[in-house]
Structure 1
Amino acid sequence: MSTTPIVESDGTSRTKRPTHADERTTMLAFLRWHRETLEFKCAGLKPSQLAEQAVDRSALSLLGLVRHAAETERFWFRQVMAAEEAQPLFVSQASPDAAFEVANADAQLVAQAWEAWRAEIAFADRFVAAARSLDISGDEPGEGPVSLRWVLMHLVEEYARHNGHADLLREQIDGAAGL
């Protein structure tokens, strides 16, 4: 698999996705692409811009998406697949949408979100690399067994949907558009 970065016009880069590879390599490449896309959409913004709720009647912000992505990675890889007793990072039963509550963000809050997100991705990457196959199962609370294959596909879908949100948010904030 090629890990050659594609350099975008603004100097940021994402890793090229292979056009011919096995299932695991392809799935991981698309997941990495979407993770990099979320980071790309947030690049160069101030904490206040990252926390900006740029769509009327919505608490959605780029910083909220990063925090939500950290929670999602943590849930699926630590709690479901690795069966760890990992507590949520930003949400609770009393406040299930707390990941999106980022008004008045400062540099420390932004750094905490990126650090959490990167730590969860690193855990997920180690877990997947150590998995003997995509058929290993974890137990989703209230639902039952799910395969690693299903979790990876779900994460690709999750990032793809939220990167669409990120596109719109970024364009509203400063007019930046495109992948």
Structure 2
Amino acid sequence: MTDITEPQQAQPGRSFGWWDMFVSPEDDPRSDGGFVGELDTLVGFLRDQRLTLEMKCAGLDAEAMARRSVPPSDLSLLGLVRHLAAVERHWFRQVMAGQDAPRLYRTADDPHADFDGAAPDPGLVAEAWRTWRAEVTFAERLVAEAPSLDVTGFDGDEPVALREVLVHMIEEYARHNGHADFLRERIDGRVGQ
């Protein structure tokens, strides 16, 4: 039986920004919570999740961004950036704004192109970040200009309130940021929040 009072030792090959954190607290751009009201809470937590994705990818070259997890998985950090750009587009441009915006990356012939097409090309990485940032900017503007969280869009024939979309996006990022944790640790040993 292990004595739980003994300090835990770091795994060999792991490095920490600040003990077990990805960055030191004074350098962390995310909030500490403290949001007031429903809109501020939803927007704040989604912003923090988006920042987490950026942090998990910070300082990596194209090869590292495109590195796959373990076979047969097609997960990579670049694939996650591309996927989340497409998710942002779907929920905010297509569903909430009703725009006839074409899908990003995915096609009928390759429904997994967001991940399959994540190649170690610096131009591809830069394009993925530009696209993701453009979709995030659109989403932030749409939310800021919405008269209430009850504004409804349509996902096919199903009505969806902005409130539900924001909660779903927080869930979507949280899930994929968990993947990003493992991907980043596999790339260079960085772990943390």
Give the TM-score, by structure 1 length.
0.91
Deviations 1:64-91 (A, max 9, x none): 0000000000000000000000001211
Distance 1:20 1:10, change over 3 A: closer
1:135 and 1:149 in contact (8 A); partners too: yes
2:78 and 2:128 in contact (8 A); partners too: yes
Identity %: 51
Superposition pairs of residues 1-179 of structure 1, within 5 angstroms: 8-9=23-24, 13-141=28-156, 143-179=157-193
Deviations 1:18-38 (A, max 9, x none): 324100000000000000000
2:66 and 2:79 in contact (8 A); partners too: yes
Q: CA RMSD in A?
A: 1.7
Give the TM-score, by structure 2 length.
0.85
CA distance in 2, matches of 1:169, 1:95: 23
Distance 1:20 1:13, change over 3 A: closer
Deviation beyond 4 Å, 4+ runs, structure 1: none
CA distance in 2, matches of 1:44, 1:156: 24
Distance 1:12 1:58, change over 3 A: farther
* SS across alignment from 1:14: coil
2:62 and 2:121 in contact (8 A); partners too: yes
1:55 and 1:169 in contact (8 A); partners too: no
Aligned residues: 172
